[in-house]
Structure formats: C-alpha cells, structure tokens
C-alpha cells in the first residue's frame, strides 16, 4: 500500500452491507458512489478498483431499488465522459445520458444541462430498464466513447462521438476561423451508434433539449418523409437541432423518443446536428463518418512525441483532453468544459471556467512543445498575442474569440449540481487586478522565442508593454493568482511574476538588441527580487502567501520551477518541504488554508490537483525523486474511470470536485510526469556510470 492511500474494500463481500445502508445513499449514480457514501461507515473504495468489480456489486444490489435511486441522482463528476470536436464539448454520464452540451460554441448556453439541474435537458440512448453499464472506455487514441451494456436478453455496445471530417469550406469562408485552415473541421454533429452483439436488446432513445440554460423547452416537428428526421426549436432562440435516425421517432411533450428491439448483429444510429451541414441519414454514412473521426484522432496523436514509459497513456489522454478543450477557430484554450461544478459539496464556490486564462499560457505552450504539437502551440500563442496587442491593459482572462466583457449572471432557476448554488455564467474575475498576467505572458513569449532564437517586432511591442506594466505596478497590492474576492494584498507570487516579467523581458530585449532597456529591466528585477526576499519570507526562511502573514500558499511552488532562486537555495527547499508537509490534506496540496486567507467566500474546498502535480515538479527540482514518484503515482491513481481530472479531489474518498475536465490539472500532469521521467532517466544514466565503490 502507498502511504496515505485509501484502504481497499472487498466489494462483493459487502453487498449485503450496502443494501442495509441503502437509505443513507443520496444523489449518487454510479456503483462507486454506493461505496463512497455509506453514512457513518466511512467505507472507501480503492482508486484501483476495476469496472468489473463494480458491476459485481451492482448485480448483488436490488435492481429496482438502484434504478429508483439513480433516476434523480447526480453522477460523480469524475464519471462523466468528455467529447469534443474542438468547437463544442459534451459530457456523457455513465448511464448513457448526455447531460452537458452547449451550442454552437463551448461557452454558449446549454441545450442539455442535466448536470446542473435534473430538469435541465438530456439525451439518452441505452438499453431499456438498465442504467449501469458493464464497461466504459475511450476507443484507444481517440475522444470516442464506447459503452458496453449487459441488458436483459443480450449485450449492447454504444459508441458516442462529436464528429470530425474533411475541411468543407472550399466555396465559402468560415465565419469563425481566424487561424490557418487545416485538412479537417468540426462537423457539428453528435453521433451515437448502437450494436447488439449478443441476443436481443430493447433500446430506448430520449432526446429532451432545454434551450438557453433550461429556460426554453423544445418544440419538435417532423422534417422530410417518414419518421426518421425531426427538428427541435424554441421561441426566441436562434438555434435549431436536427435529429436523424434509422429508428422511428415520436414526440412526448418536449422529448423526441424511439424504441426498438434489436437482434444480434444489428446496428442502429441517431445523430443530432446544429448547422447547415447535414448529419448522417443512413447507417452506412454514420459508420463511415465515425471511422473517419477515429482515424483523425489517432493521426493527431501520432504527431506527438511520447516517452516509451508506463505513464505514456496518461500523457496521451491528457493531450487529447487539452486538444478537446481548444477552440480551433481562434486557438484559445478554455480552462474547463463546464460552469458551476462545485469546489465544495453543496457550497458557493461555483464558477464559469469556459474561458481562456492568460496564466495557463506558459504551461500550455511548454506542454505542447514538449509533446511535439508545435502547430497547436503556435495557434494558442497567436490568440494571446492578438488580445495583448489589441488591449492597452491586458486582462487575466478572455472569451474564446477574444471577448473582453464576461459579465457574470446567476441562474436562479437551476438547482445546481447536487444542490450547489449559485449557478453562474460569465465570470467577474475578468475585472480583477492580478499582477501575474504580465509575467505569464512574457514567459510565454520567452519560451517561444528561446526555441527560435528570434523575436519579431510586432511581438516585441506587446512584450515591452507588459514589462512596462509590471515595472509600474509591482509595488501595488492585487487579488493574487487565485482570484480571491477579499481585500487586495501584497501577494508574494504576484511580486514574483512581476520579477519574471522584468527578468525574462531583459533577455528578450537583448535578443532585440535593445541593451539600454535590458539594463533597466535588470535593475527593476533586482529591486523586486530584493523586496520579495526581505518581505515575503518568514522567520523559518519559508516564502509566505503575502507580506502580512506567515500563511503558506501553493502558488509559491512556481518560484522553484521558474528559477527565482536556484533549486539548492535553502529558502526554496524549505518552502517546498513546508508546503508538502503543512499545506496538505492526506498528502495532497491545498491552494491555501481558507481559515488563514480572506478570499471573500465561506466553506471549505478540496485539495487542488494542479497544486499537487506542481509539487511533484518542485520535488523533482530539489532532488527529492523518491518522494516525487510516490506522490505522482498516487495522483495518477486518482484519475477518474476514463483517465480525466477535475480541479480538486477529496483525498479520503477520491471524489472529484470543481469544473471538469480541468485543463490546468492536465497541463500540470504533463509537466510533472515529463519532468519526473527525465529526471529518473538522468539518475539511471548516472548510476550506470558509477562503479560499486562510488567512483566514476
């Protein structure tokens, strides 16, 4: 057993105990939740439990009871599957229901929003009377979900995908694309294909759109001849959905439905489309387009560089997820596919993450360059450069087409995920003053320019403006990297990022031949460095959250990764170890302790996965490879059933919290895993060169 790891339970042996405590189970969907929530019994499931073991538990439970509980339950966040065509994203629950889809863009109002309210709209396609699948997995190397069902009378396999296809704007220009056109494009179609592999299975379809965040129910009508095509629309909504299928569709209120008894070897499909480009109308076309999409994702993955290592699959799944969170027309990376999934169960820490944060840029470019995806890295860089060039004052975040105003609204009519309110759309943090943005952007340019040994005049003008902003404002307080909604403070990490802007700005100035400006940058960088070392360190020699506290903050781990001081400096080492030992719950890292931080909110929050993965990287940097590996292995075991991560995790249960899937978590995973693999390879080579007596 790993130190601090959850204790496994012999699942089958506890089936009677599960039934005995059934009344304490609430708001759960997947069988894993039956183990997580047994009231005072505090049973814990091992992260290594296999799907087949979970199925054994379910079969020992009363099916009628489990169906009744699960009908109104919110699935565990980590159990959702993530689909993307790089323009829209969808989340599919384990019971075969699409519970989140925003159209036509990732940040548009939802048409399926059951993840935030059980009456928020959904799209189910599964065997009649069965809610728990036998197995779920991504088709290897793709963003295509495959779900296997053990149904009464037979077996069924369902594949779900947001279709990609060949570039199709040959005779017209796309109205959304700013980046260079590729050979492929989103097809604006959600495709679902079911195949009966054994026996006979009754399949059921229900498509219940609720437009505009569940404020407008759908009005269905038939299109074409027969019963295979229908259109959903709503008054005042500039979007319609077209459902095509080889099943015979019917309407029940705002739902389109279908039922069919499938025989062994038979396949059926349904496709939901939302643009002028038609979805498939025949099974043959549907299968061909599904195959094209699978090949597309595998070809994309083949472009990358991945180490031949047991953790290779984690890197590949993270890369696919990051690609899926990229809005292809602009190159922007959104922080997550969702809004308002709670950081605290039932709490108020619920935010809209469907926007692009400047601070993600350094990690994003490093990860993409490290994995060999230069094209995607360049697209994201150009998105950042455009908004920075356009705006006199750079914001901490932007909309996916560079929108500045992201006004926040509260949707009072939605219950929230598992009762967590408020549900927010938009994010007022765009108005905040956060000094890390200048350093983040300059570091991003520095990373790109260093690999090319050149910097064009247009980008240099952008950089110089950011450096000058850091010089002018570094003495002022701000809201800090975590966007606290309390009083502004002199956050240590904010000062550090101002130092980064000046330090890296000096390098870039020399690259441009502006040596006088480089000298000025060096001078201000020296002042900031001295100020941090004088005011941001406690009596123990540990860097603190801000100048008026001794509290710790995980953002200071960036000081070792971006070389504020050498990794063997005692203050750096003490800071990393203090965070590892004191700012953790069961070994996983908190951003900060809420009782020591005025963040303007109430309630607790979980441990932040990005902070824990960043701790892995920091431990590698100071030479603590054994401790880094132990933590990394533990974090990889906390991945959801499909290899995805939210923003936070409860260490005791493995329950994921916050928006999902979270780009920053996957970026930090790539950085940590690559750093650790490289460090261990260097260590192994050094060991080979060293003789048994220690001589070389």
pLDDT digits (tens, 9 = 90+) for 292-335: 999 999 999 999 999 999 999 999 999 999 999 999 999 999 99
- Output the furthest CA–CA distance in the chain (Å, rounded): 84
| Rounded Cα gap, residues 254 and 273, in angstroms | 17
The reply to whether CATH 1.50.10.10 applies to domain 312-689 is yes
ω before 51 within 30° of 0 (cis)? Answer: no
> 99: how many CB neighbours lie within 10 A of its CB?
24
145 within 8 A of 222, measured Cβ to Cβ: no
Q: Which residues contact 234 (CB under 8 A, 6 or more apart)?
A: 211, 212, 216, 217, 218, 219
pLDDT digits (tens, 9 = 90+) for 225-275: 899 999 999 999 999 999 999 999 999 999 999 999 999 999 999 999 999
Q: What is the mean pLDDT of residues 545-555?
A: 94
| Rounded Cα gap, residues 395 and 393, in angstroms | 6
214 within 8 A of 413, measured Cβ to Cβ: yes
List Cα–Cα distances, 578 to 86, 94, 552, 553, 589, in angstroms.
Answer: 40, 40, 8, 10, 11
- What integer best gives the mean pLDDT of the chain? 87
Classify domain 77-302 by CATH architecture: Distorted Sandwich (2.70)
Domain ranges in the chain are 12-71, 77-302, 312-689
Q: What is the mean pLDDT of residues 94-115?
A: 98
HSE of 99 in the Cβ direction (CA atoms, 13 Å)?
Answer: 28
- The pTM assigned to this predicted structure is 0.87
Residue 355 has pLDDT above 90, yes or no: yes
pLDDT at 642: 98
196 within 8 A of 155, measured Cβ to Cβ: yes
DSSP annotation of 244: E
More confident residue, 631 or 683: 631
For residue 646, give the nearest of 594, 595, 608 by alpha carbon.
608
DSSP annotation of 279: -
List Cα–Cα distances, 355 to 313, 427, 640, in angstroms.
Answer: 27, 9, 23
| Rounded Cα gap, residues 612 and 648, in angstroms | 10
pLDDT digits (tens, 9 = 90+) for 604-627: 777 999 999 999 999 999 999 999
3-class SS letters over 448-492: HHHHHCCCCHHHHHHHHHHHHHHHHHCCCCECCCCCCCCCCECEH
């Amino acid at each position: 057993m790993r130190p601090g790891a959850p204790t496994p339970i012999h699942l089958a042996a506890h089936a009677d105990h599960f039934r005995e405590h059934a009344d304490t189970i609430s708001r759960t969907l997947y069988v894993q939740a039956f183990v997580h929530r047994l009231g005072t019994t505090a049973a814990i499931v091992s992260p290594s439990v296999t799907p087949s073991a979970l199925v054994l538990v379910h079969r020992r439970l009363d099916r009628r009871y489990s169906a009744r509980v699960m009908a109104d339950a919110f699935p565990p966040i980590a159990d959702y599957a993530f689909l993307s065509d790089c323009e829209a994203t969808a989340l599919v629950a384990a019971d075969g229901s699409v519970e989140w889809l925003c159209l036509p863009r990732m940040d548009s109002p939802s048409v399926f929003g059951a993840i935030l309210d059980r009456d928020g709209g959904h799209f189910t396609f599964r065997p009649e009377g069965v809610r728990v699948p036998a197995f779920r997995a991504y088709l290897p190397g793709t963003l295509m979900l495959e779900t296997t069902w053990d149904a009464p009378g037979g077996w069924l396999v369902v594949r779900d995908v947001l279709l990609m296809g060949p570039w199709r704007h040959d005779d017209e220009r796309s109205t959304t694309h700013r980046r260079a056109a590729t050979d492929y494009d989103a097809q604006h179609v959600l495709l679902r294909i079911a195949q009966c592999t054994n026996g006979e299975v009754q399949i059921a379809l229900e498509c219940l759109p609720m437009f505009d965040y569940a404020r407008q129910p759908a009005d269905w009508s038939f299109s074409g001849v027969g019963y295979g095509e229908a259109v959903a629309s709503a008054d005042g909504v500039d979007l319609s959905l077209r459902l095509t299928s080889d099943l015979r569709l019917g309407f029940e209120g705002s739902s389109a439905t279908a039922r069919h008894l499938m025989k062994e070897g038979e396949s059926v499909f349904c496709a939901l489309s939302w643009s002028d480009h038609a979805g498939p109308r025949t099974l043959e076309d549907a299968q061909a387009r599904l195959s094209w999409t699978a090949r597309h994702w595998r070809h994309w993955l083949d472009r990358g560089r991945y180490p031949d290592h047991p953790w290779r699959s984690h890197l590949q799944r993270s890369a696919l997820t990051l690609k899926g969170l990229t809005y292809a027309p602009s190159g922007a990376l959104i922080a997550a596919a969702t809004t308002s999934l709670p950081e605290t169960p039932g709490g108020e820490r619920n935010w809209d993450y469907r926007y692009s944060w400047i601070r993600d840029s350094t990690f994003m470019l490093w990860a993409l360059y490290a994995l060999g995806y230069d094209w995607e890295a360049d697209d994201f860089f150009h998105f950042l450069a455009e908004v920075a060039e356009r705006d006199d004052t750079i914001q901490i975040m932007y909309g996916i087409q560079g929108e500045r105003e992201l006004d926040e609204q509260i949707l009072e009519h939605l219950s929230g995920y598992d009762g967590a309110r408020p549900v927010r759309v938009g994010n007022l943090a765009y108005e905040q003053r956060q000094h890390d943005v200048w350093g983040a952007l300059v570091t991003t340019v520095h990373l790109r320019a260093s690999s090319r040994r050149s910097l064009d005049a247009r980008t240099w003008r952008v950089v110089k403006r950011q450096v000058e902003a850091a010089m002018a404002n570094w003495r002022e307080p701000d809201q800090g990297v975590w966007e606290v909604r309390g009083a502004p403070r002199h956050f240590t990490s904010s000062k550090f990022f101002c130092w980064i802007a000046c330090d890296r700005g000096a390098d870039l100035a020399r690259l441009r031949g502006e040596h006088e400006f480089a000298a000025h940058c060096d001078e201000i960088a020296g002042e900031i460095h001295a100020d941090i070392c004088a005011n941001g360190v406690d009596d123990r020699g540990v860097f603190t959250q801000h100048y008026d506290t001794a509290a710790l903050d995980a953002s200071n781990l960036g000081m070792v990764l971006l070389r504020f001081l050498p990794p063997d400096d005692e203050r750096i080492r003490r800071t990393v170890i203090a965070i590892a030992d004191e700012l953790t719950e069961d070994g996983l890292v908190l951003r900060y302790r809420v009782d020591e931080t005025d963040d303007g909110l109430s309630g607790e929050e979980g441990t932040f996965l990005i902070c824990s993965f960043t701790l892995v990287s920091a431990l590698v940097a100071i030479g603590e490879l054994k401790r880094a590996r132990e933590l990394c292995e533990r974090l990889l075991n906390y991945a959801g059933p499909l290899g995805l991560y939210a923003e936070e995790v409860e260490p005791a249960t493995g329950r994921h919290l916050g928006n999902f899937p979270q780009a920053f978590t996957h970026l930090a995973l790539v950085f940590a895993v690559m750093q650790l693999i490289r460090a261990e390879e260097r260590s192994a080579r050094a060991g080979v060169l060293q003789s048994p007596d220690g001589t070389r």
